[in-house]
A = this chain, B = another copy of it.
Amino acid sequence: MIALNDKQIEILQVAEKLFAEEGFDGTSIRDIAKKANVNIAMISYYFGSKEKMLEALVLSRISDMRLQLESLYNENIPPFAKVDKMVELYITRINKNRCIYQILHSEFSNKKRELNFEGFTEMKKSNLETFRNIIKEGQDSGDFQQEINVALLPPIIMGTYFQFHTNKPFYKQILNLKTDEEYDNYIGTELTQHIQKTIKALLVYAN
C-alpha cells in the first residue's frame, strides 16, 4: 500500500462518510471534492478514478477493522468471560467502523461490483480461526457443548447488530430512545448484552 498524504486522507474521510450515507452511485466526485475542499480533478489525479478511490478507501480501512482477537485469545480468563469480551470487541469495532461496513454491505453485497481483496477474505478467515480457538478452549474445559458451527457465529453477532441498526428509526421508537446518544448507549449496553447472551446460550445449548 502506498502512503497517503494529508489531502488524500481527508478525501477518503469525506468519501467514506458520503458513500455510507448516499451510496457509491449516489455520491458524485463533485460532492466529495467540494466537501474536502479540493479540486474535482484531484480525485482522478490522486486515485485514478472514482472506482479506484473506493478500492483505496476500503483497502486503507481494512487494517483498521482487523479485530484484536489474538491478544484476547491469549488472555487468561474464563471461557464465558472471554466470549463476552469477544462479542463486545466485535460490536465496538463494527460500531466504530460503521461507515466502511455500511459501504462494504451496500456496494459489495449483491451488486456487480466485486470485492475480491484477498486481504478482506483473509482477515475474515483469520478472525474465524481465532474465534474457533477461543470456542475450543471452552469446549475443552467442558463449559461449552461440542456441536458448534463456529463459522455461523459471526453472522449472529454482526447480523443482529446491523439488523438493529438498519431499523434504527423503528427501534428508537419502540424502545423509546429519544436521542442518538441514548441510541448509541443502548447499543453499548442492552444490545451488546443481548448478543452476548445469545452466543453464550447457543454455546451451552443441548438440543
Contact = CB atoms under 8 A, between A and B. Distances in A.
A198 interface: yes
A202 interface: yes
Interface stretch (A5-13, A15-23, A135-143): A15-23
Contact of A23 (B25, B128, B166): B25
Interface in A180-207: 190-191, 194, 197-198, 200-202, 204-205, 207
Contact of A124 (B112, B159, B170, B197): B170
Number of copies of chain A assembled together: 4
Interface in A110-133: 110-112, 116, 121, 124-125, 128
A129 to B, nearest CB: 11
A159 B163 contact: yes
A151 interface: yes
B110 A21 contact: yes
Contact of A161 (B21, B26, B151, B159): B159
B25 A194 contact: no
Interface residues of A, number: 53
Contact of A159 (B21, B152, B160): B160
A160 B152 contact: yes
A124 B170 CA distance: 9
A80 to B, nearest CB: 10
A69 interface: no
A158 interface: yes
A164 B154 CA distance: 9
A106 B162 CA distance: 12
A3 interface: no
A149 interface: yes
A74 interface: no
11 contacts: A21-B110, A22-B112, A106-B106, A106-B110, A109-B166, A152-B164, A152-B190, A152-B194, A156-B163, A200-B205, A201-B204
